[in-house]
Amino acid sequence: MNNEYGGIVATGIARSFGTVAAIRHIDFAAPPGEVTALIGPNGSGKTTLLLILASLLAPDTGTLTVGGVDPLRDAAAVRRTVGWMPDTLGVWESLTATEILTTMGSLYGMPSDRRRERAAELLAAVRLEEFADKPARVLSRGQQQRLSLARALIHDPAVLLLDEPASGLDPGSRVELRATLRSLADQGKTVVVSSHVLSELDEIADRAVFINRGESVKNQTLDEAGTQIRRYYIQADPMEPLAEALTSHGVTFEVRGDSRRAEYQVMMSSTDQAAWLLRTLILADVAITAFAPAGGALEETYMSLDTDRQ
Amino acid sequence: MSTSTTEQPGSTGASTDLTLSYWNGVKAVFGLEMRQRLRARAWYIMLVIWFFVIGLVFLLASVTTAATEGSGAILFDLVVGFVLFFGLLVAPGLSANAVNGDRAAGTLAILQITLLTPGQILWGKWLASWVASLAFLLVSSPFIFWALALGGVNPAEAFTSLLMLSVELGIVSAIGIGISALANRPLFSIVTTYMVVALLGIGTLITFGLSYALVDEENVEVTYSYLDYPPGTDFSAPIPASVELECVTRTQLQTVHHTDRTTWLLAANPFVIVADSVPYSRGGDFGQVSQPANPDVYVQPGIMEGISVGVRLLQAGPDYETTCEEAQGFGRDLPDESFPIWPLGLVLQSALAGGLLWLGRGKLATPARRLAQGTRIA
């Protein structure tokens, strides 16, 4: 995570609003060329941290560099390299989608032919060409979300900060968002995504920073997350032979109560152990109808952390 | 979604060469603001209402003054006064939610994340709200030209009046923008701006009135003269020139109000600034118009000229020393040493507007260290 390559390095960040400590102590790092997920419950300080990284808020304490530059020293240099997609949908409603993007380009000092070209290109990329000349107020929430992503990309930033980019998107757009973020990271850009849709992040994030109550509680790569203890759900028809087989092999299980159908939950320390159990159950003639990890790797970490979700 | 971005491999640092000159930033904000204003229906509705109200006032006034000598000048004065009055009502509404309205809509942070500086945002927004309020002046122009067409107003007078109207609208817009950057809620900032404008328009008058007692000087010996009309003179008919009037001169002790010491309090009043700056060239004495053809015709001054003359008289201070010559004339000659107070007014108002903008600029500075309670930056 060397500064020379850009990326984000933040250590010991704290920020309070009056008496409310939004961020107590966060260490955060996002290397270029990777998608870093910022995960935490509501009110844990995700948005505040992104505002600090975007050079809009000053931290009370701590040091940070974004793209190798300290925002407190040279905010303009940081802004040239940062694209920020806020969690609120602030749009200039009377402007058309094209005008919003070209206006944004002009605020970054892009020459007029370049920003028009770029606007058309981005509108095509987020599939909003048919709304190019329609006022932004007619866009649906998901479409505005996509326009907001295009707006963040207008000046081709090296660092991309996305606050809940997937909220309000339909499944098709989520898949596209995933592909877009992946390809941006593959170009060497630093991509930071905050979200609580963990299954989405599982597939695109290279690493994750978990924060809770304004503190960074865990920092892991997805490869690490894959090797940890995970929960598996098993269904069989009928369920009785499954219970017997599990008991006879000394596997402890519990009945999952929050599902529509009867399910058993077991803890597996590795994928090898899961494979062994499945093979054993089938050989014991248990009619397995479902055998799957309970959630994504990130969700597993999230649930295992002592987080509070009030 | 991935197509466009993959077309530019290795474009990671492409944006580092971007620069935004100060003027281009102001221009971009101005353009953005104007676009949004021009597409808002409310603005057009206000312009139409404005047109009809000014039109109504103008027509009523032109009917009542039709028989009066020099009605063109009176009408022109009336339109200027009215446009200023309405402009003071409209300009705060057009400016005082420009910054915190954006903040509430979540679009202010979009500006702040770009290369724009707080100064550029404020300049752009101020210019846009000024231009938006100048549109109201433009809509009034048919009536202004109509009054000018009736004659009696010299070009310098008309030009100065309109110029000062524009300046006043600009100052009120600047006050509105400054307050909207300082206050968190649009409603609060609009009301506050109206209060400040009321303070300038009415508060200055009240302050001046209350200060009256402070500048009293008791037991001043004054000498005054008056014409002694013979008992039983019939004032309803012209007094024949053959009657020789005696001028009586007396001395007495009385209380004198030194308004010359407090008139500056009125300087910051928008009406005083506009009226005082206009070079009225219609006569020396109050109410006397020197028309070369018939110098004795009495022509009433318009509203603004009345204010102007009134302020100059207050500024000159009390003059109880009436000479026999003055007693015969229409009124008192303004002393030559009376100097214009509108520059002082402009300085006071500009200082107020500039101070508010300067404080507001601090509120827009990013990375932000202090936020008002209960506000989110985005």
| Domain match, B230 and B193 both | no
| Domain match, B27 and B116 both | yes
| Domain match, B124 and B24 both | yes
| Domain match, B323 and B257 both | yes
Asked if A157's CB is within 8 angstroms of B8's CB, the reply is: no
Q: Which neighbouring-strand residues pair with A207?
A: A36, A221
| Domain match, B113 and B225 both | no
**What are the tens digits of pLDDT across the range B343-361?**
999 999 999 999 999 999 9
Is the separation of the CB atoms in A182 and A35 below 8 Å? yes
How crowded is the C-beta side of A43, counted as CA atoms within 13 Å?
6
Q: Tell me whether residue B338 is in a domain.
A: no
The pLDDT of residue B71:
76
| Domain match, B154 and B280 both | no
Percent of chain A with pLDDT over 70: 94
The token pair at B183 is: 């206050």
Contacts of A110 in chain B (CB under 8 A): 18
Q: Tell me whether residue B14 is in a domain.
A: no
Mapping DSSP onto H, E and C, the string for chain B reads: CCHHHHCCCCCCCHHHHCCCCHHHHHHHHHHHHHHHHHCCHHHHHHHHHHHHHHHHHHHHHHHHHCCCCCHHHHHHHHHHHHHHHHHHHHHHHHHCCCCHHHHHHCCHHHHHCCCCCHHHHHHHHHHHHHHHHHHHHHHHHHHHHHHHHCCCCCHHHHHHHHHHHHHHHHHHHHHHHHHHHHCCCHHHHHHHHHHHHHHHHHHHHHHHHHHHHHHEEEEEEEEEEEEECCCCCCCCCCCCCCCCCEEEEEEEEEEEECHHHCHHHHCCCHHHHHHHHCCCCCCCCCCECCCCCCCCCECCCCHHHHHHHHHHHHHHCCCCCCCHHHHHCCCCCCCCCCCCCHHHHHHHHHHHHHHHHHHHHHHHCCCECCCCCCCCCC
Among B19, B39, B367, select the one facing A75 at the smallest CB separation.
Answer: B367
Q: Tell me whether residue B316 is in a domain.
A: yes
The pLDDT of residue A244:
85
Q: Tell me whether residue B164 is in a domain.
A: yes
Q: Tell me whether residue B287 is in a domain.
A: yes
Q: Tell me whether residue B292 is in a domain.
A: yes
Instruction: Provide the shortest C-alpha distance from residue A75 to chain B (in Å).
Output: 7
Among B105, B114, B367, select the one facing A107 at the smallest CB separation.
Answer: B114
Burial A14-23 (b: 16+ CB within 10 A, else e): bbebeeebbb
The pLDDT of residue B170:
97
Instruction: Provide the shortest C-alpha distance from residue B203 to chain A (in Å).
Output: 36
Q: Where are the beta strands (DSSP E) in chain A?
A: 8-17, 20-30, 35-39, 61-66, 82-85, 159-163, 190-194, 207-212, 215-221, 230-236, 254-256, 263-268, 288-293
- Per-residue pLDDT for B258 more than 50? yes
| Domain match, B174 and B277 both | no
**Of A123-127, B172-176, B219-223, where does mean pLDDT reach its minimum?**
B219-223
The pLDDT of residue A5:
60
| Domain match, B57 and B146 both | yes
| Domain match, B168 and B276 both | no
The pLDDT of residue A309:
45
Contacts of B15 in chain A (CB under 8 A): 80-81, 108, 155-158
| Domain match, B162 and B50 both | yes
The pLDDT of residue B239:
66
**What are the tens digits of pLDDT across the range B100-146?**
999 888 899 999 999 999 999 999 999 999 999 999 999 999 998 88
**What are the tens digits of pLDDT across the range A204-215?**
888 989 888 888
Domain span including residue B169:
4-8+20-210+345-363
**Of A72-81, A167-176, B81-90, B250-259, where does mean pLDDT reach its minimum?**
B250-259
User: In this structure, which amino acid lies at residue A260?
Assistant: R
**What are the tens digits of pLDDT across the range A255-288?**
876 666 778 888 888 888 888 889 988 888 888 8
Which residues have C-beta within 8 Å of that of residue A164, sequence separation ≥ 6?
A87, A194, A195, A196
Q: What average pLDDT does chain A have?
A: 86
More confident residue, B227 or A204: A204
| Domain match, B224 and B177 both | no
Number of domains in chain B: 2
Q: Tell me whether residue B373 is in a domain.
A: no
| Domain match, B77 and B31 both | yes
Q: Tell me whether residue B165 is in a domain.
A: yes
Instruction: Provide the shortest C-alpha distance from residue A266 to chain B (in Å).
Output: 39
